[in-house]
Homo-oligomer: A and B are copies of this chain.
Amino acid sequence: MKLTPQRQLLFNLLHENDSHPTAESLFEIASKQMPGISLRTIYQTLGELAEMGELQLVDLGNGATRFDPNMGEHQHFVCDSCGAIHDVDITSAPRLRAGSADGFAVEEIGVVFHGRCNRCNLSNQGKLESQQIKRSPGLQAKKIKRVKSN
């Protein structure tokens, strides 16, 4: 593993950013500091960092994979109003244990919290939800009753 400027930059950007950025958004930020950097390199590097256990891939089913340098056990909260993603300390969340259910050998349980973040609660107090946040790449043209398993 060579220590290239691109890798240093990405590693830094990731660690000074708790917004769970997508590859694209990291690309935008990185491009400012290193014009010409390739989106392909972003994907490549993020994939490698993930393989090395330096970061987690988070797929909340809303279109693009997100990257989280927080490798500790934790869950995510997704604001359905603004789309923001926040880490949730597992200790403050109902802890679930692997076990067996219906004859399946459960090895891992994913939990995602959906709702409204503090900021949206305050700013949009009584208002109707104006924004329609992208929830899934497809089939979300209109507001659809959908499983929030993501």
Question: Interface residues, chain A, CB within 8 Å of chain B?
Answer: 23, 43, 46-47, 50-51, 53, 56-61, 65, 68, 75-77, 79-80, 86, 88-89, 92-94, 96, 98, 101-118, 121, 135-150
A126 to chain B, nearest CB (A): 14
Q: Are A106 and B94 in contact (CB under 8 A)?
A: no
8 A-B residue pairs with Cβ-Cβ distance under 8 Å, sorted by A, are A57-B136, A65-B139, A79-B104, A88-B102, A106-B115, A107-B116, A109-B111, A109-B113
- Provide the bound-state CA to CA distance between A89 and B117, in Å: 29
A40 to chain B, nearest CB (A): 12
Q: Are B50 and A77 in contact (CB under 8 A)?
A: no
Q: Are A147 and B101 in contact (CB under 8 A)?
A: no
A110 with B112: in contact, given A57-B139, A77-B101 (CB under 8 Å)? yes
CB < 8 Å: which of B56, B60, B135, B147 contacts A146?
B56
Q: Are B145 and A59 in contact (CB under 8 A)?
A: no
Q: Are B109 and A114 in contact (CB under 8 A)?
A: yes
Q: Are B114 and A108 in contact (CB under 8 A)?
A: yes
A103 to chain B, nearest CB (A): 5
- Residues in B neighbouring A148, C-beta threshold 8 A: 108-110
A96 with B111: in contact, given A60-B150, A147-B58 (CB under 8 Å)? yes
A88 to chain B, nearest CB (A): 6
Instruction: Across the interface, name the chain B residue whose C-beta is closest to A54.
Output: B145
Q: Are B68 and A147 in contact (CB under 8 A)?
A: yes
